[in-house]
Amino acid sequence: MSSTTRKVANTIHKTTKRNRSPSLDVIHSQIETAVTIKSQSISESPHRAKKQKLLESYASESPFLNFPHPTPSEALAVFDILSKAHPHHILSRNFLSPKTNTNANSAATCGNVPNVIDSLIGTILSQNTSGKNSSGAKASLDAAFGRNNFAAIASAPREAVVEAIRHGGLANKKAATIQKLLQSIEERHGGYSLQHLADIGKDGKPYSDIEIMKELTSYDGVGPKTASCVLMFCLGRDSFAVDTHIFRLSKVLGWVPPDADRILTQAHLDIMLPAELKYGLHVLMIQHGRTCKGCKKVESSAACVLRDFVKESRVSKLS
């Protein structure tokens, strides 16, 4: 019996104690009706429906059908340039294997841990804050409730979760998101686990990237970027998450139309970029975006290897 069913049953039991006791069939009927209504309200969330529609629309084709960039050669050129600019940055996906990295802080490793829910929580804590703040918040959360003790987090008073992650930024919002995520997973799957996404599906084949994206983004607070990070760092898939740094650099490089938003940028680049370059470009573009002063402002006088690349490409096309 799920937590939702138990709550409904308890409510009905308290109500009927004051009145004439109904038959078991009536109680079961009331429970099923209430749970159905609850499930319908969850599935009809407008924001969730919008995310699902976007995924279905751009699963196999770009939202910018007639926009030809980036080409594979352009992507490779940028990869080579950034590799030389940041030679000490780790590019191999295997530098921390999720299967063996069981004690890692999921916020500090971009979700590079074996547990899918742990990866999700770490990525949520990383939103709109620094790495230091998010990793500190995750360490505090683990200390307060126990590592991967999702039942304790889900059932705790909201303020206790807020207090545990307070110094990570946006604590009230993130605490609500994490608790609702855990409660939704338990209601849907009967337990606190999403490890089926890392296993073989019912047809004997691994779940496809789009199947995993649909599952993850069906939860409130989990957008395409968060889901893509879990795909990349936890599940080892060739996905391309677009954060604020990558979004800005994509505009600098002319890889998306000027009016593209971040969600459509991710949908476009995930289609256009060669699979073997996605992980490396993701890591390198974030590193460059964080450290390069020359590409943060158009009028900046500081040097930027990507702006130089764009200028040289334009001169080459004109000559």
For residue 199, give the 3-state DSSP assignment: coil
- What is the C-alpha separation between 233 and 122, in angstroms, rounded? 11
- Contact (Cβ atoms closer than 8 angstroms) between residue 12 and residue 4: no
Amino acid found at 6 = R
164 C-beta neighbours (distance < 10 Å), count = 22
Residue 5 CB contacts under 8 Å (≥ 6 apart), including other chains = 31, 35
- What is the C-alpha separation between 211 and 195, in angstroms, rounded? 14
- What is the C-alpha separation between 128 and 221, in angstroms, rounded? 13
Q: Is 206 left (phi over 0), alpha (psi -120 to 50) or beta?
A: beta
Based on its alpha-carbon atoms, the radius of gyration of the chain, rounded to whole angstroms, reads 23
Choose the catalytic residue: 51, 138, 174, 225: 225
Q: How far is CA 3 from CA 11, 151, 185, 203, in A?
A: 12, 11, 11, 29
Active site residue 14: no
- What is the C-alpha separation between 152 and 282, in angstroms, rounded? 34
Q: What residues are annotated to the active site?
A: 225
